[in-house]
Amino acid sequence: MANIFDLLGRIFISALFLISAYNKILSIDGTTSWMEGYGVPGFLLFPVIALEIILPLFVIVGYNAKISAGLLAIFCIATAFIFHFDFSDPMQKIAFLKNIGLAGGFLFIVANGTRDWAVDREKKYVRL
């Protein structure tokens, strides 16, 4: 049962980034303008999209999950402080706290790793 919860948790925490990457692809011009409005160069959108696709997939399948989760935690904290630090706007405050919460979830993966349903898990061989 713990393996199911572990996998579901990794899917749930990663799904947000996969959906976000999809939305960024559909609205590249709008996202670029929005990023530049915060002083972030627009050319960084393409590495962000790659990061939001590759790292969550690694977390889901359990391939270098600790490293991927650590990088996503850093990403969440950075985006919280860059894009959602306006606490006078209640929605920005919620988005800030969401990113901090996600970073906490990713740090939990960094600290505890994945369970048995992961690509990196050592195989248990039975000697015959």
Question: Do the Cβ atoms of 63 and 33 come closer than 8 Å?
Answer: no
pLDDT in tens, 69-107: 999 999 999 999 999 999 999 999 999 999 999 999 999
What does R_g of the chain's alpha carbons equal in angstroms? 17
CA distance 14 to 2: 18
Q: Is 115 left (phi over 0), alpha (psi -120 to 50) or beta?
A: beta
Q: Say what the pLDDT of residue 114 is.
A: 93
Count of CB atoms situated within 10 Å of the CB of 20? 16
Q: What's the pLDDT band for 126 if we cut at 50, 70, 90? A: low
pLDDT in tens, 20-78: 999 999 999 999 999 999 999 999 999 999 999 999 999 999 999 999 999 999 999 99
- Domain definitions of the chain by residue range: 2-112
Q: What angle do CA 70, 76, 78 make, to 5 degrees?
A: 105
CA distance 126 to 128: 6
